[in-house]
């Protein structure tokens, strides 16, 4: 995300406070700014506007409004900076849990808007990288489980050692110009079809 060409959406029912945020953004060089004063139907509007980053100013929100905004933050998968006038530990923890990138208490000043926006984008990018790495690691683990299961089928059905079963999978993959994972998955599927009550 290039910080200076971000499409920024500001959600704020208070027009005076929204103008402070907008002035801070424009002063920082962000000219693609959309302001929503009405939170009704906000998820649909976010989909239409497709912003790079969202700034939410809640002033003194009640619990329901906070929870609605946290649900929104979970759903949009974008950097979210949230300004509130007062908060408690429970609300801060809920904001972090919801993926709010910057949760700012009593800090709505024009000169603070840019550094907070930069922080939100930076934190979101770091979090996204971590989640991507976690997904990759989970995928590798699942792939390993599939290959292990296929080796188990071959060891049982053909009386092979673990090394022999893996060699058979590898050779089949090379001969068919496919990945070992694909061969393993095909073998598991075939075993299920031939013996529905056996290998799962």
- Give pLDDT < 70 ranges for the chain: 1-4, 107, 197-200
Going 98 to 99 to 104 to 109, the CA torsion angle's sign is negative
pLDDT 10s digits, 178-189: 999 999 999 999
pLDDT at 200: 45
Question: How are strands ordered across the β-sheet holding 33-36?
Answer: 33-36, 8-11, 53-59, 80-84, 102-105
Q: What is the pTM of this model?
A: 0.61
pLDDT at 99: 79
Instruction: Give the separation between CA 129 and CA 123, rounded to whole angstroms.
Output: 10
Q: Residues near 83 by Cβ (< 8 Å), separated by ≥ 6? A: 17, 21, 55, 56, 57, 58, 104, 107, 108
Long-range contacts made by residues 127-132, C-beta under 8 angstroms, separation at least 24? 127/99, 127/101
pLDDT at 42: 84
pLDDT at 68: 81
Task: Identify the structural domains of the chain with CATH numbers, from first to last.
Answer: 3-133 (3.40.50.2300), 134-194 (1.10.10.10)
Nearest to 82 by CA among 60, 100, 96: 100
């Amino acid at each position: 995300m290039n910080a200076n060409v971000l499409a920024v959406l500001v959600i704020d029912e208070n027009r005076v406070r929204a103008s402070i945020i907008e002035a801070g953004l424009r002063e920082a060089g962000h000219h693609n700014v959309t302001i929503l004063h009405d939170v009704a139907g906000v998820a649909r509007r976010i989909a239409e506007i497709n912003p790079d980053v969202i700034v939410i100013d809640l002033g003194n929100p009640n619990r329901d409004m906070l929870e609605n905004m946290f649900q929104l933050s979970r759903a949009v998968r974008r950097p979210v900076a949230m300004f509130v006038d007062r908060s408690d530990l429970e609300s801060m923890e809920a904001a972090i849990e919801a993926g709010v990138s910057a949760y700012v208490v009593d800090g709505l000043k024009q000169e603070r808007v840019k550094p907070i926006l930069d922080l939100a984008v930076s934190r979101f990018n770091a979090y996204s990288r971590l989640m991507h790495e976690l997904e990759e690691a989970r995928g590798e683990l699942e792939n390993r489980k599939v290959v292990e299961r296929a080796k188990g089928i071959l060891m049982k059905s053909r009386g092979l050692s673990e090394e022999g079963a893996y060699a058979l999978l590898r050779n089949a993959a090379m001969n068919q110009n496919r990945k070992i994972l694909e061969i393993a998955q095909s073998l598991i599927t075939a075993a299920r079809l031939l013996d529905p009550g056996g290998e799962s």
